[in-house]
Amino acid sequence: MKLLDIGEYRLSKKATLLMILGIFVFSVACRMIWVYQFSDMDSFKWNNELMINTNDGYYFAEGARDILNNDLTDSRSPTDTFVSKLTAFLTKILPFSLETVILYMPAFLSSLLVIPMVLIGRTLGNTYLGGIAALLSSITWSYYNRTMVGYYDTDMLNIVFPMFIILGFMLSIKHQHIKYTLISIISIILYQYWYSASYSLILALVGIFAIYILFKDRKNRLNFLFIALLLFSMASIPILLKVLLISGIYLATYYLKDKILAYSLYILAIAFLLVLFTGGFNPILTNLKLYVFREAVASDLENLKLHYFAVTQTVREAGQIPFEVFANRISGHTITFILSLIGYVLLLIRYPIMILTLPMVGLGFIALKAGLRFTVYAVPIMAFGFSYFVLVSSKIFESFIYNETTLKYIKGIFISIAILYALYPNIKHIEQYKVPTVFNKQEVKVLDKLGQIAKKDDYVVTWWDYGYPIRFYSNVNTLIDGGLHSGDLNFPVSFILTKDQVSAANMARLDVEYTERREKEHFSSNLIQEMKDYKFNDINQFLNSLHSKNFKLPEKTRDIYLYLPDRMLNIFPTVNLFSNLDLVTGKRLPQNFFYKTQRFRDLGNIIDLGNGIKIIKNGGKIQIGRQVLMLNSFIVTEYDRSGKLQKHIQNIDPTSPIYVIFMKSYNRFLVLDKKMFNSTYIQLYVLENYDKDLYEPIILSPFAKVYKLKI
Strands 658-663 and 633-639, sheet pairing:
parallel
pLDDT band at 301 (very low <50, low <70, confident <90, very high): very low
pLDDT band at 302 (very low <50, low <70, confident <90, very high): very low
Q: What angle do CA 212, 213, 217 make, to 5 degrees?
A: 125
pLDDT band at 300 (very low <50, low <70, confident <90, very high): very low
Residues 6+ apart with CB under 8 A from 549: 502, 693
Give the residues across from 308 on adjacent strands: 298
Quote the DSSP letter at residue 686: I
Buried b (16+ CB within 10 A) or exposed e, 273-303: ebbeeebeeebbeebeeebeebeebbebeee
Q: How many residues does the chain have?
A: 711
Handedness of CA 129, 132, 133, 134 (dihedral sign): positive
- Give the chain's count of helices (H) and strands (E): 30, 19
pLDDT of residue 677: 98
Strands 633-639 and 645-651, sheet pairing:
antiparallel
Average pLDDT over residues 464-484: 95
Buried b (16+ CB within 10 A) or exposed e, 503-514: bbbbbbbbbbbb
Higher pLDDT, 604 or 453: 453
> Taking 60 as the threshold, does the pLDDT of residue 510 lie above it?
yes
**Each residue of 512-524: pLDDT tens digit?**
999 999 989 989 8
Three-state DSSP class for residue 612:
coil
Q: What is the dihedral of CA 420, 426, 427, 429, to 10 degrees?
A: 150
**Each residue of 124-138: pLDDT tens digit?**
999 999 999 999 999
Report the distance separating Cα 595 and Cα 367, nearest Å. Answer: 31
pLDDT of residue 283: 60
> Taking 70 as the threshold, does the pLDDT of residue 288 lie above it?
no
Strands 477-478 and 594-597, sheet pairing:
unpaired
Show the DSSP H helices in 433-466 as ranges: 441-453
pLDDT band at 285 (very low <50, low <70, confident <90, very high): low
pLDDT of residue 276: 86
Contact between residue 345 and residue 328 where contact means Cβ atoms under 8 Å apart: no
pLDDT of residue 291: 52
Report the distance separating Cα 120 and Cα 167, nearest Å. Answer: 6
pLDDT band at 310 (very low <50, low <70, confident <90, very high): confident
Report the distance separating Cα 162 and Cα 395, nearest Å. Answer: 31
pLDDT band at 220 (very low <50, low <70, confident <90, very high): confident
pLDDT band at 500 (very low <50, low <70, confident <90, very high): very high
Give the residues across from 658 on adjacent strands: 673
Report the distance separating Cα 172 and Cα 163, nearest Å. Answer: 14
Compute the 3-state secondary structure of the chain and give helix, strand, coil in percent, each to the nearest 5: 60, 10, 30
Average pLDDT of the chain is 92
Higher pLDDT, 284 or 72: 72
Q: Which residue, among 282, 220, 704, 640, has the nearest Cα to 462 in the 3D structure?
A: 704
Quote the DSSP letter at residue 81: S
Q: What angle do CA 270, 275, 277 make, to 5 degrees?
A: 95
pLDDT of residue 70: 93
pLDDT of residue 296: 46
Average pLDDT over residues 421-447: 96
Q: For residue 316, what are the CA distances in angstroms to 75, 369, 555?
A: 30, 12, 40
pLDDT band at 450 (very low <50, low <70, confident <90, very high): very high
Report the distance separating Cα 234 and Cα 239, nearest Å. Answer: 10
Contact between residue 646 and residue 662 where contact means Cβ atoms under 8 Å apart: no
**Each residue of 337-365: pLDDT tens digit?**
999 999 999 999 999 999 999 999 999 99
Three-state DSSP class for residue 45:
strand
pLDDT of residue 313: 58
Contact between residue 435 and residue 698 where contact means Cβ atoms under 8 Å apart: no
> Taking 90 as the threshold, does the pLDDT of residue 586 lie above it?
no
Buried b (16+ CB within 10 A) or exposed e, 216-248: eeeeebbbbbbbbbbbbbbbeeeeeebeebbee
pLDDT of residue 659: 98
Report the distance separating Cα 534 and Cα 525, nearest Å. Answer: 14
Average pLDDT over residues 58-86: 93
Average pLDDT over residues 373-392: 96
Q: Which residue, among 52, 77, 83, 75, has the nearest Cα to 63 in the 3D structure?
A: 77
**Each residue of 230-282: pLDDT tens digit?**
999 999 888 888 899 899 988 888 787 788 888 889 889 988 998 888 876 66
Report the distance separating Cα 676 and Cα 659, nearest Å. Answer: 9
Contact between residue 354 and residue 361 where contact means Cβ atoms under 8 Å apart: no
> Taking 60 as the threshold, does the pLDDT of residue 7 lie above it?
yes
Show the DSSP H helices in 522-588 as ranges: 526-533, 539-545, 572-577
First vs last Cα of the chain: how many Å apart?
Answer: 78
Report the distance separating Cα 482 and Cα 468, nearest Å. Answer: 7
